[in-house]
Amino acid sequence: MDRSYVPPVISGELGRNAPRVAEDRNFYARGPRAPSLFQIDGLPVTGLIEEFGSPLFVFSEYDLRAKAKRMREAFRSRYQKTSFAWSMKTNYLGAICKIFKSEGWIAEVVSQFEYEKARKIGFDGSEIVFNGPYKPRSALKAAIDDGALIQIDNWDELSLVEELASEHGKVIEVGLRVWLDPGIKPVWSKFGFALENGEAERAATRIIDNPKLQLHTLHSHIGTYILMPDAYAVTAKKLVQLREQLRRKHHHLVPYLNLGGGFPSQSLLHGFLGPVEQVVPPIEAFATAITEVLRELPPAEQPMLRLESGRYLVDEAGYLLSTVIAVKGVNRPMLTDEGLSARAYKERMILNEDSRIGYVIDAGINLLYTSAWYQFQILPARAIDAPPVPSRIYGSLCMAIDVIRDHVDLPPLETGDILTIHPVGAYNITQWMQFIQYRPAVVLIGSDGKADIIRARETLEDVCGPERMPEHLTK
Ligand SMILES: Cc1ncc(COP(=O)(O)O)c(C=O)c1O
């Protein structure tokens, strides 16, 4: 048997609330009715909107913990020496971070703001990995004082860390960010030091030679939504090689390898056809690819493995509930208006507008930045016994590009219908923008089945609070 074969895992990977019926999940065998979603963790979708307003982000604590458990088991059952960091930029709501903290995750941050937020949430300095291309001097100083692990991105940052280290009483442990060719495109070359031309080795040597620094980690984050487990095997091999080179030349065995994030969630990019399980490999396949490389090393030389995932852990746990506020459709007159002229019909064909009904909903790309890449599921909150027809979901912004799904098959909807958009837990809350509308409330359905607000709906004061009026304009 091919040792790289990983059997498909049929489980709650889509989250407890995802449509369970096979026909719902299979584009080709869907039958006449499109999938709907009535409740999340036992709470009716319509009731949530009544209580907290629309639109509304909803997160499931059950799903977050289930994902953490699955990831932990996938890696630790293969390689006990695995540790986990939560990529805060994926979703830095305090309640979400606290859940991962309680699951044993430390924090991975990429900016001064995130660093300060991690400390405020309650992560100790020693529980923070500090990445990112821009770490201001004051942030670096705080991180050094607090004992956080700085993963150095570039030569200028290395010089700054050296300078701060020379003023610091103790030896400082640091990581080195490395970029390499993992055999897939695009190669992320913006961050860290290049492996292939020896730059990473030169930077590592400079750190090892500095008595005030200790090289703790070799790190590489190859990208996000990576569908090829083998790319991680290549990355692990290359980092192991670099580690070996450093040991031979400098007698320093770097204790940690950090393979970054990048594991995909159960989401499809635009243009991909489902079912999603056939496109997205299970987490166990990634765990196998990475840990097989590390297990080839003699046990005493096996490094600690660190992972700093975001998307995989949080995407499916997040839902956006939204209400249809208008039904638009150039084809609607065609269905009823027999007098439609051949010319008008042709015009519509040319515009490619003839076959789609448009639904305007009360959420837009202001809340769903990642809709530019991912085709979210759109799930009505009631069963509609009518065949799905090509439809388009418009957001509520006064911008033509505000389209959440350009083409999605949906049963006929009415104004007032509630739709659940899923999965949206990764990156949307951190990348959302305040453009002409208030950002909505976010609730967490706790393990006890109770819904709590974890971020209140914005008010005029929240938005205008930081504004100041020059004296002469107040008169
Ligand atoms: C350095 C670093 N680590 C981890 C992550 C998390 O990636 P993902 O959400 O794909 O797991 C990112 C995001 O791109 C990142 O830049």
309 touches ligand 1 (CB under 6 Å)? yes
Confidence class of residue 274 from pLDDT cuts 50, 70 and 90? confident
pLDDT at 12 over 70: no
67 touches ligand 1 (CB under 6 Å)? no
Segment 451-464 shows an average pLDDT of 98
Nearest CA to ligand 1 atom 5: 261
Segment 82-108 shows an average pLDDT of 98
Q: What is the pLDDT of residues 292-342, one digit of tens each?
A: 999 999 999 999 999 999 999 999 999 999 999 999 875 444 444 555 556
* Strand-pair partners of 458: none
- Classified as helix, coil or strand, 283 is helix
Q: Please, is 448 exposed, middle or buried when counting C-beta atoms within 10 Å of its C-beta (0-12, 13-18, 19+)? A: exposed
Q: What is the pLDDT of residue 1?
A: 45
Segment 206-229 shows an average pLDDT of 98
pLDDT at 355 over 80: no
Confidence class of residue 6 from pLDDT cuts 50, 70 and 90? low
Q: Which of 132, 92, 75 is nearest to 306 (CA)?
A: 75
Q: What is the pLDDT of residues 394-428, one digit of tens each?
A: 999 999 999 999 999 899 999 999 999 999 999 99
Residue with token string 């492996």: 195
pLDDT at 354 over 90: no
132 touches ligand 1 (CB under 6 Å)? no
Give how far the C-alpha of residue 465 lies from the chain's centroid of Cα atoms, to the nearest Å. 30
Percentage of the chain modeled with pLDDT above 70: 88
Q: What is the pLDDT of residue 288?
A: 98
Specify whether the CB–CB gap between 88 and 97 falls below 8 A: yes
**Could you tell me what percentage of the chain is helix, strand and coil, using 3-state DSSP and rounding each to the nearest 5?**
35, 20, 45
**Paired tokens of 197:** 């031309």
262 touches ligand 1 (CB under 6 Å)? yes
- Whole-angstrom distance, CA of residue 175 vs CA of residue 221: 13
- Whole-angstrom distance, CA of residue 416 vs CA of residue 326: 8
- Which domains are seen in the chain, by residue range? 1-60+317-475 (2.40.37.10), 78-314 (3.20.20.10)
Q: Best substitution site from 177, 224, 235 to test ligand 1's pocket, by max atoms within 8 Å of Cβ?
A: 224
- DSSP symbol at 374: B
Q: What is the pLDDT of residue 388?
A: 85
Q: What is the pLDDT of residue 332?
A: 46
Atom of ligand 1 nearest to the CA of 313: 11
224 touches ligand 1 (CB under 6 Å)? yes
264 touches ligand 1 (CB under 6 Å)? no
Confidence class of residue 16 from pLDDT cuts 50, 70 and 90? low
Q: What is the pLDDT of residue 9?
A: 47
Atom of ligand 1 nearest to the CA of 312: 11
pLDDT at 8 over 60: no
Segment 222-228 shows an average pLDDT of 97
Residue, of 257 and 337, whose pLDDT is higher: 257
Residues 6+ apart with CB under 8 A from 380: 34, 36, 37, 410, 411, 413, 417, 418, 419, 420
Query: Which region holds residue 386: left if phi is over 0, alpha if psi is between -120 and 50, else beta?
Result: beta
87 touches ligand 1 (CB under 6 Å)? yes
Mean pLDDT score of the chain, rounded to an integer? Answer: 91
CA distances from 25 to 17, 18, 266, 284 (A): 13, 9, 12, 21
**pTM (whole model) above 0.85:** yes
